[in-house]
């Protein structure tokens, strides 16, 4: 599975955009990653799931759990292709029925792999781990499609989690410059932005 081919597919789809984008935090970013678009492209979902599975080939896990919501299709595709059972974390507890936060079949002390789309600060991964740990599940590894290189990976690793990233902002811009899809000036803007907007020192 060539990561370069995956980068080009994401760029062609518009899942990686360059320009001026206001982020949730209100900060203006020269790059925007919108992986929600991938749900409409089954072949690309398969490519993403394969690239992620390749990254964690040496890790041991019994279950996969996607961080809601964008990473759920990635976790589902990986679960189906590699027959690994999947569990789901609800964003909010149901006030009726079982009232569970974690849906699916699992046993205490099983190892669960966290699947995430983009990592910036790492907060959403921690939010997913907390209810899993409460149920007695063990989380040692997380796999992410894009590391924004803004400190999230280092932060999670400082908490003892192994974070496996398929690609990062540096590898994306380097590949797109090499193939003349973006200019070196655009790439420099992105690198400067990443360097000056770190979430974890």
pLDDT at residue 58 is higher than 70: yes
Q: Give the chain's largest Cα–Cα span.
A: 55
Query: For 85-92, which contacts have Cβ atoms below 8 Å and span 24 or more sequence positions?
Result: 87/63, 87/112, 87/132, 89/65, 89/128, 89/131, 89/132
Band of pLDDT at residue 24, cut at 50, 70 and 90: confident
- Quick check: 61 and 112 in contact, CB under 8 A? yes
Q: Tens digit of pLDDT for each residue in 99-117?
A: 689 999 999 999 999 999 9
Q: Tens digit of pLDDT for each residue in 154-196?
A: 999 999 999 999 999 999 999 999 999 999 999 999 999 999 9
Cα-Cα-Cα-Cα dihedral sign, residues 17, 43, 175, 198: positive
Q: Tens digit of pLDDT for each residue in 31-55?
A: 999 999 999 999 999 999 999 999 9
pTM equals 0.95
Q: Could you write out the DSSP letters of every residue in 118-150?
A: EESSSHHHHHHHHHHHHTT-B--EEEEEEE--S
pLDDT of residue 92: 72
Cβ neighbours of residue 116 closer than 8 Å, sequence gap 6 or more? 66, 67, 71, 124, 125, 128, 142, 143, 144, 145
- Quick check: 173 and 190 in contact, CB under 8 A? yes
State the Cα–Cα distance between residues 160 and 140, nearest whole angstrom.
8
> How much is the mean pLDDT over the chain?
95
pLDDT at residue 11 is higher than 60: yes
* C-alpha to C-alpha distances, 79 to 43, 52, 86, 201, nearest whole angstrom: 15, 11, 6, 35
Instruction: Look up tokens 């974890």; give the residue.
Output: 200
pLDDT at residue 122 is higher than 60: yes
* C-alpha to C-alpha distances, 166 to 16, 18, 110, 125, nearest whole angstrom: 15, 20, 24, 16
- Domains of the chain plus CATH, in order, are 3-196 (3.40.50.2020)
């Amino acid at each position: 599975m060539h990561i370069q081919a995956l980068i080009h597919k994401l760029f062609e789809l518009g899942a990686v955009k360059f320009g001026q984008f206001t982020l949730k935090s209100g900060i203006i970013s020269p790059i925007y990653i919108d992986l929600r678009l991938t749900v409409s492209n089954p072949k690309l979902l398969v490519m993403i799931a394969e690239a992620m599975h390749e990254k964690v080939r040496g890790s041991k896990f019994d279950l996969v759990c996607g961080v809601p919501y964008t990473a759920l299709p990635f976790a589902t595709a990986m679960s189906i292709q590699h027959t690994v059972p999947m569990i789901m974390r609800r964003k909010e507890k149901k006030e009726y029925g079982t009232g569970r936060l974690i849906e699916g079949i699992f046993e205490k002390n099983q190892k669960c792999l966290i699947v995430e789309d983009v990592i910036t600060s790492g907060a959403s991964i921690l939010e997913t781990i907390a209810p899993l740990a409460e149920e007695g599940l063990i989380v040692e590894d997380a796999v992410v499609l894009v590391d924004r290189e803004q400190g999230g990976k280092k932060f999670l690793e400082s908490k003892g989690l192994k974070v496996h990233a398929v690609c990062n902002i540096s590898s994306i811009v380097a590949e797109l410059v090499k193939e003349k899809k973006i200019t070196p000036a655009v790439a420099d803007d992105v690198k400067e932005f990443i360097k000056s907007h770190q979430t974890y020192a």
